[in-house]
């Protein structure tokens, strides 16, 4: 049972945050205080490379469902607190920051797990629970676009080398939104409907925003609406940061097979639990229908620090590059195909980085462009 109980860590943090919003006062700090606490613990604990021994889909998915359904409840509790508690400006800031953080983690992993499942209800709930980071249209472009194009120049979720988090996140948010609009419009046109007819998902997304903010207004008034929009917008950009750290600098030739080494994995003990294995990433890109509890850690993968540690480092680009450059150097030398090495060299030159790929010479005896080296 312990294998199942561990994944209630995320809902527990959410419940504590909701109680903090309800109690008001300095309890408003609970939500955001969870961030440095979990980050520090995840960095200090040893890596977790264990395969899960979970057989019951129902019990494995129950915490995912609970965590997803708690997302809007967090906002409703905060709105209630704004209306009924005498909060100081600093306490309000703490609540806003806590909402933004919890909208992304565990919000992104929980909703991501549901909309990748085969169940129609799960996909529906996973889609619209993403209202907390203003992206109920994300499902199709992620499943169809990102999973097909990962690592290629066509993938808006893969950051080229040398790109900072500050330039990547706004561009990725705009590009993904543009692709969301185009993907649905193209689909409607193929079916004989107008590209932006009432059937387009854009209108359902706008309706979801109106309904969600309408409920918040009913609970806490206009002040609550204004304050809740702030963490939703912040979270929207932080969502792109998740992709930044999980795919940074990766290269793949369009049309070639996706392999385990084409994504980064983060095997932090707490982040694996708190993020429902979204950081245990390789198997997911080989088969997006594999449920989180069946993903097996890639023991041959290059070890990357805790995702939360990477997130903090990303705000200081030189610090982040000091962490990721050695991993990319090893990736280029040990895992990349000949064609991928060419692409890596070009990205390194554009970024103004050293050209460590040329140092490899011809020691791989000119492997074919569509093959990769295995490690170990």
SS3 letters across 104-115: HCCHHHHHHHHH
How far is CA 86 from each of CA 21, 25, 80, 254, rounded to the nearest angstrom? 12, 7, 11, 56
pLDDT in tens, 254-309: 999 999 999 999 999 999 999 999 999 889 999 888 999 999 999 999 988 888 88
**Domain membership flag for residue 69:** yes
Q: What is the per-residue burial (b if ≥16 Cβ within 10 Å, else e) of 16-26?
A: ebbebbeebee
Q: Are 258 and 370 in contact (CB under 8 A)?
A: no
Q: What pLDDT, on the 0 to 100 scale, is given for residue 281?
A: 86
**Domain membership flag for residue 58:** yes
Q: What pLDDT, on the 0 to 100 scale, is given for residue 372?
A: 35
Task: Kindly state the percentage of the chain with pLDDT values over 90.
Answer: 85
Runs of H (alpha helix) within 9-88: 9-23, 30-44, 57-84
Domain limits for position 323? 2-360
Task: Kindly state the percentage of the chain with pLDDT values over 70.
Answer: 95
Q: Are 29 and 263 in contact (CB under 8 A)?
A: no
**Domain membership flag for residue 371:** no
Q: Are 340 and 303 in contact (CB under 8 A)?
A: no
**Domain membership flag for residue 174:** yes
- From the list 138, 139, 107, 145, the residue with the least C-alpha distance to 123 is 139
Answer whether residue 165 shows pLDDT above 50. Answer: yes
Q: For residue 304, which phi and psi values (nearest 5 degrees)?
A: -115, 140
What is the mean predicted confidence (pLDDT) over 342-364?
80
pLDDT in tens, 310-349: 988 999 999 999 999 999 999 999 999 999 999 999 999 9
Q: How confident is the model at residue 359 (pLDDT cuts 50, 70, 90)?
A: low
Q: Answer with the residue of higher pLDDT: 303 or 158.
A: 158
Q: Are 41 and 13 in contact (CB under 8 A)?
A: no
**Domain membership flag for residue 372:** no
Q: For residue 153, which phi and psi values (nearest 5 degrees)?
A: -70, -15
Structure tokens at 348: 């390194």
Q: Are 83 and 222 in contact (CB under 8 A)?
A: no
Q: Answer with the residue of higher pLDDT: 39 or 376.
A: 39
Q: Are 180 and 138 in contact (CB under 8 A)?
A: yes
Q: What pLDDT, on the 0 to 100 scale, is given for residue 153?
A: 92
**Domain membership flag for residue 226:** yes
Helix (H) or strand (E) holding 7: none
Q: For residue 152, which phi and psi values (nearest 5 degrees)?
A: -95, 170
Answer whether residue 112 shows pLDDT above 90. Answer: yes
- From the list 270, 227, 225, the residue with the least C-alpha distance to 109 is 270
Q: Biggest alpha carbon distance in the chain?
A: 71
pLDDT in tens, 177-208: 999 999 999 999 999 999 999 999 999 999 99
SS3 of residue 47 by DSSP: strand
Answer whether residue 77 shows pLDDT above 90. Answer: yes
What is the rounded distance in angstroms from the CA atom of residue 55 to the CA atom of residue 279? Answer: 21
Answer whether residue 363 shows pLDDT above 50. Answer: no
Structure tokens at 159: 């950051």
Q: What pLDDT, on the 0 to 100 scale, is given for residue 132?
A: 97
pTM: 0.91
Q: Are 340 and 328 in contact (CB under 8 A)?
A: no
**Domain membership flag for residue 369:** no
**Domain membership flag for residue 16:** yes
pLDDT in tens, 223-265: 999 999 999 999 999 999 999 999 999 999 999 999 999 999 9
Q: Are 281 and 243 in contact (CB under 8 A)?
A: no
Average pLDDT over the chain reads 92
Q: Looking at the 3D structure of the chain, how many domains does it have?
A: 1
What is the mean predicted confidence (pLDDT) over 61-78?
98
């Amino acid at each position: 049972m312990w294998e199942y109980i561990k994944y209630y860590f995320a809902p527990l943090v959410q419940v504590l945050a909701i109680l903090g919003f309800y109690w008001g006062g300095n309890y408003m700090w609970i939500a955001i205080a969870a961030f440095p606490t979990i980050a520090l613990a995840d960095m200090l604990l040893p890596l977790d490379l264990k395969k899960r021994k979970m057989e019951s889909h129902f019990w494995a998915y129950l915490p995912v469902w609970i965590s997803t359904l708690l997302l809007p409840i967090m906002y409703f509790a905060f709105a209630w607190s704004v209306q009924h508690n005498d909060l100081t400006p600093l306490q309000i800031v703490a609540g806003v920051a806590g909402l933004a953080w919890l909208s992304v983690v565990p919000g992104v992993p929980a909703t991501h797990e549901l909309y990748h499942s085969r169940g129609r209800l799960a996909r529906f709930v996973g889609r619209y629970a993403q209202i907390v980071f203003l992206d109920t249209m994300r499902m199709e472009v992620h499943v169809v676009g990102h999973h097909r194009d990962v690592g290629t120049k066509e993938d808006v979720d893969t950051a080229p080398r040398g790109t900072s988090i500050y330039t990547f996140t706004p561009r990725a948010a705009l590009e993904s939104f543009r692709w969301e609009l185009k993907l649905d419009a193209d689909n409607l046109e193929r079916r004989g409907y107008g590209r932006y007819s009432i059937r387009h998902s854009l209108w359902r997304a706008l309706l979801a925003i109106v309904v969600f903010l309408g409920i918040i207004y009913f609970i806490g008034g206009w002040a609550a609406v204004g304050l809740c929009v702030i963490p939703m917008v912040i979270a929207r950009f932080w969502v792109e940061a998740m992709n930044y750290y999980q795919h940074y600098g990766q290269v793949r030739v369009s049309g070639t097979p996706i392999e385990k080494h084409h994504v980064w994995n983060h095997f932090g003990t707490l982040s694996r639990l708190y993020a429902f294995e979204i950081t245990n990433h390789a198997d997911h890109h080989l088969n997006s229908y594999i449920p989180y509890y069946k993903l097996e850690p890639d023991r041959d993968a290059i070890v990357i620090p805790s995702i939360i540690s990477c997130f903090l480092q990303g705000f200081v680009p030189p610090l982040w590059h000091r962490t990721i450059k050695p991993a990319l150097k090893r990736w280029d030398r040990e895992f990349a195909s000949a064609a991928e090495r060419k692409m890596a060299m070009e990205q390194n030159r554009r970024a103004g980085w050293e050209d460590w790929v040329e140092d490899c010479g011809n020691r791989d005896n000119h492997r074919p462009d569509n093959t990769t080296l295995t490690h170990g």
